[in-house]
Chains A and B, each alone.
Chain A
Amino acid sequence: AQSVAQPEDQVNVAEGNPLTVKCTYSVSGNPYLFWYVQYPNRGLQFLLKYITGDNLVKGSYGFEAEFNKSQTSFHLKKPSALVSDSALYFCAVVRGSYNKLIFGAGTRLAVHP
Chain B
Amino acid sequence: DGGITQSPKYLFRKEGQNVTLSCEQNLNHDAMYWYRQDPGQGLRLIYYSQIVNDFQKGDIAEGYSVSREKKESFPLTVTSAQKNPTAFYLCASSTSGGNTGELFFGEGSRLTVL
Contacts and interface: CB of A to CB of B under 8 A. Distances in A.
Nearest to B35: A103
Interface string B34-77: 01000011111100101000000010000000000000000000
A45 B99 contact: no
Contacts of B108: 41-43
Interface of A: 9, 32, 34, 36, 41-46, 49, 51, 90, 92, 94, 97-101, 103-106
B58 A106 contact: no
A43 B105 contact: yes
Q: Chain A binding site: helix, strand, loop or mixed by DSSP? A: loop
B106 A104 contact: no
Contact of A90 (B43, B94, B104, B110): B43
Contacts of A32: 99, 101
A99 B107 contact: no
A94 B92 CA distance: 15
Contacts of A44: 43, 90, 92, 103, 105
Interface in B72-103: 90, 92, 94, 96, 98-103
A100 B45 contact: yes
A46 B48 contact: no
B42 A98 contact: no
